[in-house]
Amino acid sequence: MMDSVLQAWVAFFKPLGLNYSFVMDPGELSAFGHGLLVTLQLCAWTIPVSLVFGVLIAAALTSGRPWLARPLQAFVEVTRNTPTLVQLYCAFLVLNMLITQKLGGGNPITPFAWVVIVVALHKGVFHAEALRAGIEAVPTVTMEAARSLAFSRRQILTQVQLPLAVRFALPALVNNLVDLVKMTAIASAIAVGDVTYESIMIWSHRDNVLELLLLILLYFGLLTWLVSVGGRWLEERLRMPGYGQ
């Protein structure tokens, strides 16, 4: 059944000049499928981790404590103004090397984890900027009201400021997440085995670059579309009368 579907697939694209015969090779097909899965896993890990980083960075930046906010501000500037690939190299080739030297071999952090950490921190900075704008958009009257009702600082943050700020920041956050999905492609630079890396492995001896790239573009198109649909659903769900449109 599966075989005949694949055969039909290959036969359908043959006249168009696209050679998808790699799907008939079980080894290459499973490698490609594994790549699809790894990219999905990267997104599934990076999205929540980046959001956590974003909330933490935004909270620190708006905490009003200079010893916390100043170094983080510097970190934000460096992260925003340097390429993610170079950050990944600094983390994977430098920090990873140092950790390995220190521990003498048994390094618990895999390349996959480094990609999650670097991309999540990078996008976390952008989430933080969006959240900060959202936090600043919370009306001061609301804050004063909360303070007059004897909410503590932490309560104001978690129960008043953040719920409102998230709603204000949601469109920007979804935009960042779409960017994040696209950014996971750099995992191929350190051989994590995502869809881009597995495709490079396949096309380097089959010479079917165009065919695979079309599949990759389609796959990323699907993922980014899913994220934006999810974002719109969330916006719809969280909509509060009187706030936003």
Partner 1 sequence: MANDLVLNAGRARPQATLPALLSAVLRDPWFVLLLALVALGVGWAVTGTTPAAVQALWHWSPALLRGLGVNIQISVLAMALGTIAGLVVGALSLSPSRVLRRLTRAYVLLFRNAPILVLVYFTTYVFPFELNLGGWNLPFPDWIKVVIGLGLPASANVAEIFRGAIQSIPSAQWEAAQSLAFRRTQIFRMIVLPQCVRRMLPSWMNLYASITMSTSLASLVGVHDLVDTATVASNTVARSDFTILVYFTLLALFFAYCYPIARWTRYLERRHEHH
Answer yes or no whether residue 217 interacts with partner 1 by CB under 8 A: yes
What is the closest distance, in whole angstroms, from the C-beta atom of residue 242 to partner 1 in the complex? 26
Answer yes or no whether residue 81 interacts with partner 1 by CB under 8 A: yes
Range 158-197, binding partner 1 (CB under 8 A): 178, 182-186, 188-189, 196
Answer yes or no whether residue 221 interacts with partner 1 by CB under 8 A: yes
Stretch that binds partner 1, among 57-65, 78-86, 144-152, 229-237 (CB under 8 A): 78-86
Question: Helices (H), strands (E): how many in the chain?
Answer: 11, 0
Answer yes or no whether residue 40 interacts with partner 1 by CB under 8 A: no
Collect contacts of 187-193 with beta carbons under 8 A, ≥24 apart: 187/38, 187/39, 187/42, 187/111, 187/112, 187/115, 189/85, 189/88, 189/89, 190/88, 190/92, 190/111, 190/114, 190/115, 191/111, 192/38, 192/42, 192/111, 192/112, 192/115, 193/34, 193/35, 193/38
Nearest C-alpha neighbor of 32 from the set 225, 224, 200:
200
Stretch that binds partner 1, among 6-14, 153-161, 166-174, 211-219 (CB under 8 A): 211-219
Chain contacts with partner 1 (rule: CB under 8 A): 74, 77-78, 80-87, 89-90, 93-94, 97-98, 101, 178, 182-186, 188-189, 196, 200, 203, 209-210, 213, 216-217, 220-221, 224-225
